[in-house]
């Protein structure tokens, strides 16, 4: 069983316990699953970040309405998050800087998971860890628009042109945006250079599956520590390898629901 499948199996088993109990603390779930508390805590935090579980009061975890999506199987986006989680951890160990994954929702990119806490270098997490990212100005947003089906990109850009960018209120879809997206497609990545605090550079690529973009992953570093070109030279090969591993995992794992029921 691959690590991605093992993690997914454990996560679904944790959801089953929560559905059966209506809500439980971490230790109760750990006892039911026969896993260590730290392992279950990581699983639960991933489920919280994915919107499938909420946490209340004295760390009681409860399933959210989003778990209804599981009635007909995991959504493709959820599969991508599960497949990416262990690979992002390995990527962070290789490059040392923060690695993130975001998915598209309601005309913005939503940060779903991050290795901020494992970053050995100082980034002000409170200022940097912005959950919503602009489709037009963020690296993950432009990577999504550049590689998603052209009809989808046109619909998103038309909406932003009409109603504005819900994250970057000063931003607007313009004709040159489409030309810039062609450059991103040609390069195979999107680069974001933040000009306000915290001064950071972000490098993003898409995670694709069967003609769709399920998510985008990025590496973020402090601009004054590593300039853009050095960052490209140092980090892009590792980011591309992580991209290929996640996409390969999706091709291998998606549709293999029967494996999930295998003993842990």
Domain boundaries, the chain: 3-70, 76-252
Q: Is residue 101 a contact partner of residue 84, using CB atoms and an 8 Å limit?
A: yes
| 169 exposure class (CB count in 10 Å sphere: 0-12, 13-18, 19+) | exposed
Give dist(CA 14, CA 29) in Å, integer. 7
Q: Is 256 helix (H, G, I), strand (E, B) or coil?
A: coil
**Segments in the chain forming alpha helices (H):** 3-21, 26-33, 37-49, 76-95, 125-128, 139-147, 150-163, 175-187, 228-253, 257-260
pLDDT given at position 173: 52
Predicted local distance difference test score (pLDDT) of residue 108 = 94
For residue 43, what pLDDT is reported? 92
What's the fold here for domain 3-70? Arc Repressor Mutant, subunit A (1.10.10)
The mean pLDDT value for 196-225 works out to 91
3-70 and 76-252 share one CATH topology? no
Which range of 32-36, 78-82, 167-171, 258-262 scores highest in mean pLDDT? It is 32-36
Cα 9 vs. chain centroid, distance in angstroms? 19
CA count, 13 A, side-chain hemisphere, 229: 0
* pLDDT at position 82: 78
CA distance 186 to 140: 16
The pLDDT value recorded for residue 93 is 92
Which residue in this structure is represented by tokens 């898409």?
206
Residue 230 has a pLDDT of: 97
Tell me: the pLDDT tens digits for 105-146? 989 999 988 887 777 775 665 555 578 999 999 999 999 999
Element counts in the chain: helices (H) and strands (E): 10, 9
Note the pLDDT of residue 264.
36
DSSP tag of 63: E
Lowest mean pLDDT among 81-85, 230-234, 237-241: 81-85
User: Would the pLDDT of 9 be above 90?
Assistant: no
Task: Name residue, tokens 């998510």.
Answer: 215
> pLDDT averaged over the chain?
83
Q: Is the pLDDT of residue 26 over 90?
A: yes
| Phi and psi at residue 95, to the nearest 5° | -100, -15
Tell me what percent of the residues of the chain surpass a pLDDT of 90. Answer: 47
User: What pLDDT does residue 51 have?
Assistant: 80
pTM of the predicted model, to two decimals? 0.70
pLDDT digits (tens, 9 = 90+) for 143-165: 999 999 999 999 999 888 888 88
Higher pLDDT, 97 or 120: 97
Return the structure tokens found at 90. Answer: 């390995």
Mean pLDDT of 7-36: 88
The model's pLDDT over 177-189, given as tens digits with 9 standing for 90+, comes to 788 899 999 999 9
Instruction: Flag the least confident range among 34-43, 69-78, 250-259.
Output: 250-259
CATH superfamily, with its number, for domain 76-252: GAF domain (3.30.450.40)
Quote the percentage of the chain above a pLDDT of 70: 83
Give me the mean pLDDT over the 13-39 stretch: 89
What's residue 66's pLDDT? 67
The secondary structure of 167-212 as a DSSP string is: SSTT----HHHHHHHHHHHHHTSEEEE--SSS-EEEEEEEEEETTE
């Amino acid at each position: 069983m691959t690590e991605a499948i093992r993690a997914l199996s454990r996560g679904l088993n944790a959801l089953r316990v929560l559905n059966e109990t209506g809500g439980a603390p971490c230790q109760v779930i750990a006892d039911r699953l026969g896993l260590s508390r730290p392992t279950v805590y990581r699983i639960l935090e991933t489920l919280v970040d994915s919107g499938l579980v909420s946490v209340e009061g004295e760390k009681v975890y409860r399933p959210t309405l989003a778990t209804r999506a599981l009635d007909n199987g995991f959504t493709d986006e959820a599969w991508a998050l599960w497949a990416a989680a262990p690979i992002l951890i390995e990527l962070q160990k290789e490059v040392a800087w923060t690695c993130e994954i975001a998915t598209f929702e309601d005309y913005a990119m939503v940060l779903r998971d991050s290795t901020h806490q494992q970053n050995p270098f100082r980034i002000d997490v409170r200022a940097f860890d912005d959950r919503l990212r602009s489709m037009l100005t963020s690296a993950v947003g432009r990577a999504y628009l550049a590689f998603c089906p052209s009809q989808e990109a046109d619909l998103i850009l038309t909406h932003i042109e009409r109603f504005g960018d819900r994250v970057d209120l000063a931003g607007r879809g313009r004709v040159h945006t489409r030309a810039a997206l062609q450059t991103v497609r040609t390069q195979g990545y999107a680069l974001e250079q933040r000009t306000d605090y915290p001064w950071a550079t972000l490098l993003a690529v898409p995670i694709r599956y069967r003609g769709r973009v399920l998510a985008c992953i990025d590496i973020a570093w402090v601009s004054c520590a590593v300039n853009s070109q050095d960052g490209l030279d140092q980090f892009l090969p590792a980011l591309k390898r992580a991209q290929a591993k996640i996409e390969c995992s999706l091709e291998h794992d998606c549709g293999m629901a029967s494996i999930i029921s295998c003993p842990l």
